[in-house]
Amino acid sequence: MRDLEAIADRVEIEALRGEFTDAAMMRDYDRLASLFTEDAVCRIPEADVELNGREQIRAGVARLQAQWEFFVQNTHPGAIRLAGDTASGRAYIQELGRMRDGMSGMNYALYHDRYRRTPDGWKFAERVYEIRYLDTTPLAGSGSSPDPARVS
């Protein structure tokens, strides 16, 4: 039976990571913040950003994304290590976008995560973003912001 529980936990954690990407792409900051525990921490060391708790995470992500004309994030499965009601893991990220000031970029990064089981399911207790490769060559294409009316 424990094997089935471990499989279910892994599926739920992977779904949590997918929800994060979808909420970020759709700029649904309330949903994004709800994916974290009340006392969670979200860090972007390269940008000297540390957000503590759901309210700061929601406001901080909204402030950061307001700088982007368009933004695309792809999340790829990574490691998950279960330890009862807690877990740790990594998700591999590829992003591209253009900022409102005209600067653009493409990067490959990792999220180093800690997860906690709550009565509402698995949540992020900590999420640390690490850029592994950054290319600021101007993007030749164009993009668009999400249309909330198209969310299904």
pLDDT at 149 over 90: no
Which one, of 60, 64, 85, 86, lies nearest residue 73 by Cα?
Answer: 64
Under the banding of pLDDT at 50, 70 and 90, the label for residue 152 is low
Q: What is the pTM of this model?
A: 0.90
Per the CB < 8 A criterion, the answer to whether 73 and 96 are in contact is no
Burial annotation 62-98 (CB, 10 A radius, 16+ → b, else e) = eeebeebbbbebebeebebebeeeebebbbebebbbb
Domains of the chain: 2-143 (3.10.450.50)
Under the banding of pLDDT at 50, 70 and 90, the label for residue 150 is low
Per the CB < 8 A criterion, the answer to whether 126 and 96 are in contact is no
Amino acid at 117: R
Region 74-86 average pLDDT: 95
Average pLDDT, the chain: 93
DSSP assignment letter at 142: -
Which one, of 67, 75, 77, lies nearest residue 105 by Cα?
Answer: 67
Q: Strands, E, within the chain: which ranges?
A: 36-44, 49-52, 68-76, 80-83, 86-99, 104-118, 121-135
Q: Which two tokens stand for residue 101?
A: 């000031």
131: three-class secondary structure by DSSP: strand
Q: How far apart are CA 71 and CA 69, in angstroms?
A: 7
pLDDT at 56 over 70: yes
Region 113-142 average pLDDT: 96
